[in-house]
């Protein structure tokens, strides 16, 4: 078992070496160079100081170990020169680190005008990524062109989240009351992970996704394709797509599995017990209320964890979703455990 583990670990190292460094993931944005440079600078500085200090410590500890009771000790109590040096040298080095970080930080915040506009919306527990200029909206997938500036405008509909793309070395919190954001220029095509980095509850650890960097040609093809395209309200799977688009599937299974929210298959027309003990029959109005004002009545055995979709769904979309829930077949799953 240990052997296989060491193998895995070694594999991990080699893999990391191939795609990125020993410490860092692959560099895929223009900022990565600067961040890694500063990281390496502090790392080298730290190693120098750490190794130096430890070497001294071990040397002293061994050289001056106590060998007999009356061992003489040095009368040294302080030395202004030394103390000045070891205050001044770190101060200067720290100022360098500060200045370096500060310079790049300002650059990170200076968005070029021509940047492609992308809206990132966090919700428990999925990311919705919209392209206003392309009429596209993706779930948990950010697709960007290589070598073009892209600007993300980040917000949240419920609690705090944080949009982290390690390969780009970028991260910013998603707030419910304010837009935040950052910009970048991808420098390497490929497929990279993205994570929610601010704790947001039950499924924080699966609020992840992928970033795809496409070269000019692939980007053009993607823009023209119907991947992440706007939905056609007349299509048969309109409701189903909406169900994914709005992240309902993060909390609701349609196969009778109890996730954070109750499974939604086979509930239509059946009675449900609410937290206060009342019985409700699931009909269109109930569904409408459950989606627009979820905390008005809570299904027994569940936490009031569902965000409201008031103001986020058009009537057409709401009807689409309700139609979809209505036609979800299957055995009536026990919503109440």
Partner 1 sequence: MSSTTIDGTAPDHGAPHEEVDYIRAKKGIKSWLFTVDHKRIGLMYLAAVSLFFLFAGVLAIIVRLELLTPMMDFLADGDAPEAAAKARDVYNQVFTLHGAAMVFLFIIPSIPATLGNFFLPLMVGAKDVAFPKLNLASFYIYVIGACFLLYAILTTGLDTGWTFYTPYSIETGTAVMASTMGAFILGFSSILTGLNFIVTIHKMRAPGMTWTRMPLFLWAIYSTSVIQILATPVLAITLLLLFFERAFGVGIFDPAMGGDPVLYQHFFWFYSHPAVYIMILPGFGVISEIICVHSKKHIFGYKAIALSSLAIAIISFLVWGHHMFVSGQSEFAGVLFSFLTFAVAVPTAIKVFSWIATLYGGAITFNTPMMYGLIFLFTFTIGGLTGLFLGALTVDVHLHDSYFVVAHFHYVMMGGTVIAFLGALHHWWPKMFGKMYNEKAGILGSLLVFVGFNLTFFPQFMLGSRGMPRRYASYDAEFEGLHALSTYGSWILALGLTWTAVYLIASFWTGKKAAANPWGAASLEWATQSPPIEHNFHETPHVDADPYNFKEIDRSQAAAGHH
Which residues contact ligand HEA by CB under 6 A?
A: 45, 49, 53, 90, 93-94
Go through 302-336 and write b for each residue having 16 or more CB atoms within 10 A of its CB, e for each that does not: beebbbebeebbeeebbbbbbebbbebeeeebebe
Say if residue 82 is preceded by a cis peptide, omega within 30 of 0: no
Beta-strand pair 161-165/136-139: unpaired
Q: Which is nearer to partner 1, 261 or 320 (CB)?
A: 261
Question: Per CB under 8 A, does 175 bind partner 1?
Answer: yes
Cα separation, 196 vs 253, whole angstroms: 22
Question: Per CB under 6 A, does 272 bind ligand HEC?
Answer: yes
Question: Per CB under 6 A, does 309 bind ligand HEC?
Answer: yes
Q: Which of ligand CUA, ligand HEC, partner 1, none interacts with 306 (beta carbon under 5 to 8 A by kind)? A: ligand HEC
Question: Per CB under 6 A, does 244 bind ligand HEC?
Answer: no
List the one residue out of 208, 326, 195 whose CA is nearest residue 268: 326
Strand order, beta sheet including 126-131 = 136-139, 126-131, 116-123, 149-156, 180-185
Cα separation, 120 vs 165, whole angstroms: 13
Question: Per CB under 6 A, does 304 bind ligand HEC?
Answer: yes
Question: Would you list the DSSP string of 239-277?
Answer: HHHHHHHTTGGGT--SSS--SSS---TT-TTSEEEBTTS
Where does this chain touch ligand HEC (CB under 6 A) — which range of 38-46, 86-94, 183-191, 283-291?
283-291
Question: Per CB under 8 A, does 86 bind partner 1?
Answer: yes
Least distance CB 287 / ligand HEC (angstroms): 5
Q: Which is nearer to ligand HEC, 167 or 325 (CB)?
A: 325
260, 202 Cβ separation under 8 angstroms: yes
Least distance CB 263 / ligand CUA (angstroms): 22
The count of residues interacting with ligand HEC (CB under 6 A) is 29
CA dist 195 → 29, 33, 247 (Å): 16, 21, 16
Least distance CB 51 / partner 1 (angstroms): 10
117, 151 Cβ separation under 8 angstroms: yes
Question: Per CB under 8 A, does 131 bind partner 1?
Answer: no
Q: Which of ligand HEC, partner 1, ligand HEA, none interacts with 329 (beta carbon under 5 to 8 A by kind)? A: none
Q: Which is nearer to partner 1, 134 or 292 (CB)?
A: 292
Go through 137-147 and write b for each residue having 16 or more CB atoms within 10 A of its CB, e for each that does not: bbbbbbbbbbe
Among positions 298-317, residues that touch partner 1 (CB under 8 A) are 303-305
Least distance CB 23 / ligand HEA (angstroms): 16
DSSP character at residue 44: H
Q: Which of ligand HEC, ligand HEA, ligand CUA, none interacts with 200 (beta carbon under 5 to 8 A by kind)? A: ligand CUA
The radius of gyration computed from the CA coordinates of the chain, to the nearest angstrom, equals 28
Cα separation, 50 vs 214, whole angstroms: 42
Question: Per CB under 6 A, does 299 bind ligand HEC?
Answer: yes
Question: Per CB under 6 A, does 333 bind ligand HEC?
Answer: no
Binding site for ligand CUA (CB under 6 A): 122, 125, 161, 196, 198-200, 204, 207
Q: Which of ligand HEA, ligand CUA, ligand HEC, none interacts with 94 (beta carbon under 5 to 8 A by kind)? A: ligand HEA
Q: Which of ligand HEC, ligand HEA, ligand CUA, none interacts with 145 (beta carbon under 5 to 8 A by kind)? A: none
């Amino acid at each position: 078992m240990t052997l296989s583990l060491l193998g895995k670990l070694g594999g991990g190292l080699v893999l990391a070496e191939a795609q990125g460094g020993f410490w860092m993931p692959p560099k895929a944005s223009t900022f990565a160079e600067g961040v890694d440079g500063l990281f390496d600078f502090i790392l080298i500085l730290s190693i120098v100081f750490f190794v130096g200090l430890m070497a001294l410590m071990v040397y002293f500890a061994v050289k001056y170990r106590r060998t007999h009771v009356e061992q003489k000790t040095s009368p040294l109590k302080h030395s202004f020169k030394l103390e000045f040096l070891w205050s001044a040298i770190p101060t200067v080095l720290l100022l360098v680190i500060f200045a370096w970080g500060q310079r790049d930080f300002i650059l990170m915040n200076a968005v070029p005008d021509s940047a492609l506009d992308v809206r990132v919306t966090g919700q428990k527990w999925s990311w919705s990524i919209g392209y206003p200029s392309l009429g596209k909206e993706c779930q948990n997938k950010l697709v960007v062109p290589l070598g073009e500036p892209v600007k993300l405008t980040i917000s949240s509909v419920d609690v705090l989240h944080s949009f982290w793309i390690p390969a780009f070395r970028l991260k910013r919190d998603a707030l419910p009351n304010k837009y935040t954001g950052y910009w970048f220029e991808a420098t390497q095509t490929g497929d990279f992970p993205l994570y929610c980095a601010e704790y947001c509850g039950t499924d924080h650890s699966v609020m992840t996704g992928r970033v795809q960097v496409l070269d000019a040609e692939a980007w053009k093809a993607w823009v023209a394709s119907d991947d992440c395209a706007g939905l056609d309200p007349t299509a048969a799977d309109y409701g189903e797509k909406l169900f994914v688009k709005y992240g309902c599937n993060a909390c609701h299974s349609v196969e009778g599995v109890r996730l954070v929210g109750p499974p939604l298959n086979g509930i239509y027309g059946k009675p449900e017990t609410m937290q206060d003990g009342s019985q409700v029959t699931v009909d269109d109005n109930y569904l409408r209320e459950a989606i627009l004002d979820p905390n008005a009545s809570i299904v027994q055995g569940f936490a009031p964890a569902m965000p409201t979709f008031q103001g986020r769904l058009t009537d057409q979309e709401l009807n689409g979703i309700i139609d979809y829930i209505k036609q979800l077949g299957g055995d009536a799953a026990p919503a109440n455990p």
